[in-house]
């Protein structure tokens, strides 16, 4: 697993990092991690069992962030008995012309208008993954801001918006839903166009793209260019900016779905590798948090639910609630550095710099929910 901070990081260094001024981040809570909808032709037992297996694969991909785990022997065995993990099902109908992206078996349009919504037991799947030593990606996911410029065969270039090219933007949004990754499109208003031109995105100007993206506070940035050749080929280049590192890679395809799927799958795998945690049975580190803004029982409950829900938190001990400030001690399945990264994804806990001598042994935050 990759971290931006080395494993040998000291707690004192981590405290300093918490207080480095940062832009506002927009990591988001994603929902529906343990459910998936599958097209079915009828309501027979065989068709339902097929749907259970397909939905189970989709859920595993969402929770781990990568399709590679589907070939793990433990997961293959679980797929064969997917029914034992099912918690609830619901049949529904839908217009036949709605486009859906199937990330497991490939992109395409489904002509069926009958679906089954399958919900699985989160605790059972978490136990399965923990026993198989497979990392789990928490529901708090880093956001991805997308800048893209398109050039047609006549040489005309235009920045992508959700309205200008519904096919491409719809593909992005469907991928985001299937893989549970928050995607942001720029509004492309006067400020955006003043800060960033089609040429800047076409040349993948890292400095200008990063500067123009500051207003969105996204956790990562995917920018790309796409040339539609007269012969029908798709040729372009992509750049993914994450933690101040830019990864540039090319793309050449003759199918639009394949061209778009490659960079999206690549960056999702990278983010999952960074944030997903293997749920070991033994805590690795202990961290103390000092949290202000706890002035009601509701705030206390919300905070405890939030902290307990962080994937790498094994246990939480609360003590010394005084004048709205609560002391917490967390046993972690991962590292303290990773806890800092996960908390930084959203705005529920905001770091506070304290100059009191007694605060040097704990991370200091304010509860804002």
Chunked mean pLDDT (size 10), the chain, 369 residues = 33 32 51 92 92 96 94 96 95 64 50 83 92 89 94 89 89 93 93 95 96 92 91 89 92 88 95 83 78 86 81 79 83 77 78 54 79
pLDDT of residue 27: 52
Say what the pTM is: 0.73
- pLDDT of the residue at 72: 96
How wide is the angle at C-alpha 230 spanned by C-alphas 110 and 175, nearest 5°? 30
Query: Which domains are present in the chain?
Result: 11-29+281-367 (no CATH), 35-131 (no CATH), 140-275 (3.40.50)
The pLDDT of residue 138 is 84
Check residue 14 and give its pLDDT.
Answer: 33
Predicted confidence at residue 164, as pLDDT, reads 84
| The pLDDT value given to residue 253 | 84
With contact defined as beta carbons under 8 Å apart, do 56 and 120 qualify?
yes
- DSSP-derived secondary structure letter, 53: H
pLDDT at res. 144: 95
Helix ranges (H only) for the chain are 11-18, 45-64, 73-80, 122-131, 166-179, 190-195, 198-202, 206-213, 256-275, 297-309, 336-343
Interatomic CA distance for residues 279 and 305, integer angstroms: 18
């Amino acid at each position: 697993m990759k971290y931006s901070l080395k494993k040998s990081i000291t707690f004192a260094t981590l405290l300093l990092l918490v207080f480095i001024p940062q832009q506002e981040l927009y990591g988001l809570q994603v929902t529906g991690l343990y459910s998936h909808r599958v097209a079915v032709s009828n309501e027979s037992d065989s068709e339902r069992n097929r749907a259970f297996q397909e939905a189970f694969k989709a859920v595993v991909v969402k929770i781990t962030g990568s399709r590679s785990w589907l070939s793990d022997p433990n997961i293959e065995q679980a797929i064969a008995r997917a029914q034992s993990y099912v918690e609830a099902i619901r049949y529904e109908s839908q217009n036949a012309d709605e486009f859906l992206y199937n990330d497991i078996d490939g992109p395409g349009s489904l002509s069926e208008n009958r679906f089954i919504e399958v919900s699985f037991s989160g605790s059972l799947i978490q136990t399965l993954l923990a026993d198989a030593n497979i990392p789990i990606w928490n529901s708090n996911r880093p956001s991805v801001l997308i800048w893209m410029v398109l050039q047609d065969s006549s040489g005309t270039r235009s920045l992508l918006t959700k309205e200008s090219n519904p096919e491409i933007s719809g593909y992005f949004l469907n991928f985001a839903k299937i893989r549970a990754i928050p995607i942001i499109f720029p509004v492309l208003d006067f400020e955006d166009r003043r800060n960033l031109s089609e040429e800047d995105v076409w040349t993948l100007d890292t400095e200008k793209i990063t500067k123009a993206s500051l207003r969105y506070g996204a956790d990562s940035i995917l920018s790309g260019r796409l040339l539609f050749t007269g012969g029908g080929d798709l040729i372009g280049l992509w750049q993914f900016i994450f933690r101040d590192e830019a990864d540039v890679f090319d793309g050449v395809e003759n199918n639009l779905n394949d061209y778009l799927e490659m960079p999206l799958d690549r960056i999702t795998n990278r983010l999952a590798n960074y944030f997903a945690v293997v749920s070991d049975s033994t805590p690795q580190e202990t961290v103390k948090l000092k949290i202000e803004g706890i002035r009601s029982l509701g705030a206390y409950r919300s905070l405890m639910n939030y902290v307990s829900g962080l994937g790498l938190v094994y246990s939480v001990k609360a003590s010394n609630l005084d004048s709205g400030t609560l002391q917490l001690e967390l046993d972690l399945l991962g590292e303290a550095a990773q806890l800092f990264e996960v908390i930084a994804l959203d705005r529920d806990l905001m770091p506070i710099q304290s100059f009191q001598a007694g605060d040097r042994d704990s991370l200091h935050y304010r509860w804002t929910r």
